[in-house]
Structure 1
Amino acid sequence: MMNWTELTLDWAASFPRVKDRFPHLDDGAMPFLKLDQSRFEAYLADTHQLTLNEAREEFADFLFVESLNRELDT
């Protein structure tokens, strides 16, 4: 499964897919949030009216789907 480090290694390419899944993200906040997964998940919860646990689960699902997409591309 894709992890946070893999996602942020190429943030410029990854962020549009993250934004498609979580449309209420503010582009301006990302330079600071991409440095810390916990802060990102808390921000995700706040901006998408989710609990912190729901945000973590939604983000884990997103990473899983991204992993599947990457496997299909290879």
Structure 2
Amino acid sequence: MEGWQVWDLVQRLGGQLRVSGNAVIGWDMGAALQIGAALGVSPIAIAELLPPIEAVMVRKINDEISSGSAERLNI
């Protein structure tokens, strides 16, 4: 159950990106934890599951940016 809750949280974090120049560096984890708490998601589950998902997200978005297809992402 907690895995699905964290995945739902991931879907809500689109506006919480941290950006430096032309690169995404991650999510605002403080905001992620606050949103998760408001949704009743276990902070332990967030701390365990969100960082590896964040790493994949950062890699994929930055790949899209560097390949010139970032306009598909609405960034």
Task: Tell me the TM-score normalised to structure 2 length.
Answer: 0.39
| Larger RCO, structures 1/2 (Cα 8 Å, 6+ apart) | 1
- Whichever of the two has the greater Rg, that structure is 2
Report the structure, 1 or 2, having the larger strand content.
Answer: 2
Task: Tell me the TM-score normalised to structure 1 length.
Answer: 0.39
Report the structure, 1 or 2, having the larger helix content.
Answer: 1
